[in-house]
Amino acid sequence: MLQNALPPDSQSSQTLPAARKGRSLNPLTWLGELSESRYWAYLLLLPSLLLVVAVIVYPVFYGVYLSFQQFNLLRAGLGMKFVGLQQYTELFADDDFWVIIKNTFVWVFGGAFSQFFLGLVVALALNRKNLKGGPLARVLLLLPWVIPSVVAGHMWALLLDSRLGVINDILVKLGILTSYRAWFADSNTAMPAVLLVDMWRGTPFFTLLLYAGLQSIPEELYEAAEVDGASGWAKFRAITIPMLTPVIVAAVILRVIGLVNSPDLMIVLTNGGPGLATFTLSLYAFQIAYENFNFGAAAAVSVIMLLILMVFTTLYLKFSGVTKNT
Amino acid sequence: MAFQNFRNSQKSMRRLYDAIAYVIVACMLVFALGPLVWTALTSIKPESDIVTNEMQYIPTHPTTEHYVKLWNRSGVTTMFRNSAFTTTLTVVLCLLVGTFAAYSISRYRFRGRGGILTFYLTIRMFPAVLMLLPLYIMLRNIGLLDSLLGLALTYTTFSMPVSLLMLKGFFDAVPADLEDAARIDGCTRLGALFRVVMPLARSGIAATAVLIAVGAWNEFLFALMLTNSESSRTWPVVLQLMVGEFQLPWGLIAAGGMISIVPIIIFFAFAQKALVRGLMVGAVKG
């Protein structure tokens, strides 16, 4: 940059074009020189920004735009037609939609609460000093989190199978059940069963984060409380929970986003059934898009999901009070 | 005396809590590993021992027939190649793009730096399904629908924010003095990045690569929607479609599941510590 800014005298005006040419011949040298310029910081960010804009930002806006259109990919010849809020009003007028909304809330809050609670219990157990085998247990407990949802789904379909399921067999042998049950086919047990499978996959995430959060609480706080004669429960309430709150909030938000957005387990295990018992918004949007190719309606459902998430995140951040300190 | 009693009761309380902790961890281990173990056991039982009236807990006739049968099934090796290719491409692209962005944010102080970081972290709130539809249309328009490249580009973008955060942490740990020294010796900034910073952060880069690879290897929803021919299907999709179409016998499903998680478990064993740190960075700062 600096060299270019120098006033060209008679000598360099002859050598400059040649130097330029040499530069462009070797892209590495050219890049190296570029890296000395003050635009380098921005240039480095450029590829990632381009990707994010093309693959995430633009599609999101386009998706919102689609939700105001009549657009069916199977009848692409009809093209797009602006229909305003019609996709939304049609959804709201549909009784099934409200059942699906209710299911979504059961799925998301049931999942987030059960996984958070179990994760906290396990994290507290792992956090006890001189627990033998702690490091190995931590790694093994994390495994379900990296198992793909499709495999997890099929594993549990086998475990809970109505004829060959080992869980049925164990429960019958223990005398808890009198006969085998079809967990995923009974509308009373289908949702709890899918929640159990997600608990298997989702709990390690909470365990990991909460354990890390517990580890970062300074020991001195507990020692000071002990000098003051605080009981275990008092210490838990006055030190552990407040210190852990930022981690809890972050973990819950991330898990809720995951629960709202991914229909994977339902696709593998129940396909929403029996009836509408395990139908959630994400599965609904996916089915409208994948099976009917009605992209306008599917976009409207996803926009509703986004709105629910945004409202939830805002309210949760506000009421948990974590944003005040940071 | 009273003090002694207090100490004793405290000690026994502590022992009680320890015992409870062991019980909790043990139960949780059974819960977490039980399904994996059962699937592994099922995958080596002959079908006649899976479909029985009397549940068989320990395989009496261990066999590898399901693995052999699955491997010889048409399309299975293709799907593995597809998955391996997509995963590799995603890791390479994501590391490249992520490294540049992370280096920029780690080393430079410029206007909009904090904003960019926050922006990259909030984008994961957007529902996947909402992006799926426009992506489908876009990829179709540019001819990348049903292609491994299109899939890899999508995965790259979704993994990028977390990779960026991880890499930034690793780059922050490399002293800037070393880079300055290299630059005095005539290295350009770019040269310093490749010759000094990246070699020093290589274990961190490897961990990031593992995290990206696990994500790409496991992904299901986008792969299902954005590919439709056998030549570009990845294995989670093929596994799911095979089960749906042919009412696959359990032995094959179990074997398919086992084969598909072996790479992940190997990855995991390799980079377990760094992976945990990466997951945490990604989650807590999100």
Q: Is residue B153 part of a domain?
A: yes
Q: What is the interface pTM, i.e. ipTM, of the complex? A: 0.83
Could you tell me if B117 and B19 lie in one domain?
Answer: no
Give me the pLDDT at residue A124, please: 92
Task: State the smallest CA–CA distance between residue B32 and chain A in angstroms.
Answer: 6
- Selection from B175, B166, B205 nearest residue B107 by Cα: B175
Q: Is residue B60 part of a domain?
A: no
Q: Is residue B53 part of a domain?
A: no
Give me the pLDDT at residue A76, please: 66
Could you tell me if A132 and A208 lie in one domain?
Answer: yes
Give me the pLDDT at residue A9, please: 41
Q: Which two tokens stand for residue A289?
A: 């898009």
Q: Which residue of A has its CA nearest to B183?
A: A36
Burial zone of B151 (CB within 10 Å; 0-12 exposed, 13-18 middle, 19+ buried): buried
Domain boundary, last residue among A21, A52, A82? A82
Tell me if A141 sits within 8 A of B28, measured CB to CB: yes
Q: Is residue B55 part of a domain?
A: no
Q: Which residue of B has its CA nearest to A271?
A: B244
Could you tell me if A165 and A23 lie in one domain?
Answer: no
Tell me if B105 sits within 8 A of B167, measured CB to CB: no
Q: Report the C-alpha gap between A212 and A206 in whole angstroms.
A: 10
Q: Is residue B241 part of a domain?
A: yes
Q: Which residue of A has its CA nearest to B273?
A: A139
For chain B, what is the domain count? 2
Could you tell me if B35 and B138 lie in one domain?
Answer: no
pLDDT digits (tens, 9 = 90+) for B114-129: 888 888 877 877 777 7
pLDDT digits (tens, 9 = 90+) for A188-212: 899 999 999 999 999 998 998 888 8
The mean per-residue pLDDT over the stretch A1-16 comes to 41
Could you tell me if B114 and B180 lie in one domain?
Answer: yes
Chain B residues within an 8 Å CB radius of A30: none
| Prediction pTM value | 0.84
User: Residue A282: which of B107, B129, B217 has the nearest Cβ?
Assistant: B129
Give the best residue of B45, B133, B196, B218 to mutate against chain A (max A CB count within 10 A): B133
Residue carrying the six token digits 């790409």: B216
CATH number at residue B218: 1.10.3720.10
Amino acid at A101: I
Give me the pLDDT at residue B95, please: 94
pLDDT digits (tens, 9 = 90+) for B202-239: 878 888 888 888 889 889 889 988 888 878 888 888 88
Domain boundary, last residue among A82, A104, A125? A82
Could you tell me if B131 and B204 lie in one domain?
Answer: yes
CB contact under 8 A, A45 and B104: yes
The mean per-residue pLDDT over the stretch A223-246 comes to 86
List per-residue pLDDT tens for chain B, 286 residues long. 566 666 677 778 888 888 999 999 999 999 999 999 999 998 888 887 887 777 778 888 888 888 888 888 777 888 888 999 999 999 999 999 999 999 998 888 888 888 888 888 778 777 777 888 888 888 988 888 889 999 999 999 988 888 888 888 888 888 888 888 888 888 888 888 888 888 888 878 888 888 888 889 889 889 988 888 878 888 888 888 877 766 668 888 888 889 888 888 887 777 777 666 666 665 554 4
Amino acid at B185: D
Chain A residues within an 8 Å CB radius of B129: 261, 263, 282, 285-286, 289, 298, 301-302, 305
Could you tell me if B215 and B141 lie in one domain?
Answer: yes
Chain A residues within an 8 Å CB radius of B124: 257
- Selection from B60, B127, B58 nearest residue A263 by Cα: B127
User: Residue B154: which of A55, A150, A158 has the nearest Cβ?
Assistant: A55
Chain B residues within an 8 Å CB radius of A72: none
CA angle B239–A269–B61, rounded 5-degree value? 60
Could you tell me if A168 and A237 lie in one domain?
Answer: yes
Higher-confidence position of A245 and A118: A118
For chain A, what is the domain count? 2
Q: Is residue B48 part of a domain?
A: no
Could you tell me if A52 and A152 lie in one domain?
Answer: no
Could you tell me if B180 and B104 lie in one domain?
Answer: yes
**By the CB < 8 Å criterion, does A147 face chain B?**
yes
Task: State the smallest CA–CA distance between residue A270 and chain B in angstroms.
Answer: 12
Q: Is residue B49 part of a domain?
A: no
Indicate if the pLDDT at residue A237 is higher than 80. Answer: yes
Residues 65-84 of A with CB under 8 A from B: 66, 73
Could you tell me if A30 and A155 lie in one domain?
Answer: no
Q: Specify which residues A69 forms β-bridges with.
A: A82
- What domain range includes position A120? 86-325
pLDDT digits (tens, 9 = 90+) for A123-157: 999 988 778 887 888 888 888 988 888 889 989 99
Tell me if B284 sits within 8 A of A170, measured CB to CB: no
Q: Is residue B271 part of a domain?
A: yes
Q: Report the C-alpha gap between A282 and A267 in whole angstroms.
A: 10
- What domain range includes position B157? 65-284
Could you tell me if B92 and B138 lie in one domain?
Answer: yes
CB contact under 8 A, B130 and A204: no
DSSP per-residue string spanning A236-282: IIIIIHHHHHHHHHHHHHHHHHHHHH--HHHHHHTTT-STTTT--HH
Handedness of CA B195, B197, B202, B207 (dihedral sign): negative
Domain boundary, last residue among A47, A67, A82? A82
Q: Which two tokens stand for residue A178?
A: 């009198």
